[in-house]
Amino acid sequence: MNRTLAERLVGHQYALEMLLPEGQRSTAWVRRLPDVVKVLNDEVTRLTGKKPALAIKEKAVASKPSTKYSRPVGVNEKKLPPLISVRYLYQPGELEGGIKRATNPIWSLQVHQIERNVTKPDEPVVYYLSAGLKRGFVREELLVVPPNTQLPPA
């Protein structure tokens, strides 16, 4: 949705800026934003098959996956066993509270165990880890730690 919004605003923005003296910026997008958002909210989206203006009023909205998986998902997916040791993939800036540097680790520093998993038809298995982590992870976001791995001291 953000990409669509940018595509609809930026083209007009650049066209106006080409007419201005070099170094000056146009703020026309600010005036156009409410109209563009209104139009986007009244268009049926590909993932939900509904207009966002109507979907917002519902408690839950089913959606199609945004990408096609090249592996079995859902019931046919091979599941990781419970209580296996894993590290999880950090979200951008998660380690230091928002700042992302190229030298940051991308996998969690601590090792966690898979506490439970949730399987739904035609959706990837979602794994929940021990240690009170609130979010779930799909298989690609988990790195299995082999059983014989010597871990650093806590």
Q: Tell me the CA distances in angstroms from 147 to 37, 77, 79, 108, 128, one per residue in order.
A: 52, 23, 17, 17, 20
* Spatial separation of the C-alpha atoms in residues 126 and 139, rounded to whole Å: 8
pLDDT value of position 72: 66
pLDDT value of position 11: 78
Break the chain into its structural domains and give their ranges: 2-55, 65-154
* Spatial separation of the C-alpha atoms in residues 77 and 117, rounded to whole Å: 12
Q: Residue 13 above 70 pLDDT?
A: yes
Average pLDDT, the chain: 82
Give pLDDT tens digits for 119-137.
887 788 899 998 777 889 9
Instruction: Give the DSSP letter string of 95-146.
Output: TTTS---TTS-SB-SS-EEEEEEE--TTS--EEEESTT--S-B-GGGEEEPP
Which structure tokens are listed for 56?
């917002």
* Residue of 132, 124, 135, 122 lying closest to 80 (CA atoms): 124
**Residue type at position 38:** K
* Spatial separation of the C-alpha atoms in residues 150 and 154, rounded to whole Å: 12
Least confident of 5-14, 97-106, 133-142: 97-106
Which structure tokens are listed for 92?
């951008």
